[in-house]
Amino acid sequence: MTRKPVDTGAPDRLYTVTGGRSRADDSFDLVTLVVSECEPTAGMQSEHVRILDLCRHPTALVELAAELALPITVVRILLGDLHATGKITARHPRLGQSAAAHPDTTLLQEVLHGLRNL
């Protein structure tokens, strides 16, 4: 799979999407599941509209990035906007941002069970 999803030749476009910001909200992990809490409204930025549409069901940040064909950082910024205004909620991963956080046996048993049932 060598397809390039993002037109990185046009960084201007990415700046437009984020209103010139390049610092993202790091609280959104790649696998944070995002859920819309409202319908898109008229006049909303098109990327915000698409996120609210996609997140009618829980959707991971990384899937949003792939669907929107935008880099992770840009999607984090967009999610930060929506989160700050209560338009989305976030289900963060249990293991969180700490590399030292080891999963417990109960969780791993659940994972094993799920994998064996594949």
Partner 1 sequence: MGSATSEASALPATRTPLGDAAETGLKIVVVGGFGVGKTTLVRSVSEIRPLNTEEVMTQAGIGVDDLGGVAAKTTTTVAFDFGRISLNERLVLYLFGAPGQERFWFLWDRLFTGTLGAVVLVDTRRMDDSWYAIDRLEHHGTPFVVAVNRFDEDTAAHSLDEIRQALALPEGVPLIECDARVRTSGKHVLVTLVDHLYHMALAQESAS
In this chain, which of 10, 38, 39, 84 binds partner 1, going by CB under 8 A?
10
Question: Does 12 engage in binding with partner 1 (CB under 8 A)?
Answer: no
Residue 106 token pair: 């109960």
Q: Count CB-CB contacts under 10 A for residue 81.
A: 18
What's the closest the beta carbon of residue 86 comes to partner 1, in angstroms?
A: 19
104 binds partner 1 (CB under 8 A): yes
- Applying CB under 8 A, does 19 fall inside the site for partner 1? no
Bridge partner list, 62: none
Rule CB under 8 A: choose which of 20, 29, 43, 48 binds partner 1: 29
**Rounded distance between C-alpha atoms, residue 72 and residue 29, angstroms:** 10
Q: Which long-range contacts (CB under 8 A, 24 or more apart) does 8-14 make?
A: 8/71, 14/70, 14/71, 14/74
Distance of alpha carbon 79 from alpha carbon 24, whole angstroms: 9
Contact code string over 48-77 relative to partner 1, x by CB under 8 A? ------x-xxxxx-xx-xxxxxxxxx----
Question: Which DSSP state fits 62?
Answer: H
Among positions 21, 33, 44, 49, the unique one binding partner 1 when judged by CB under 8 A: 33
Q: Which residues bind partner 1 (CB under 8 A)?
A: 1, 3-8, 10-11, 13-14, 22, 29-33, 46, 54, 56-60, 62-63, 65-73, 91, 93-105, 108-116, 118
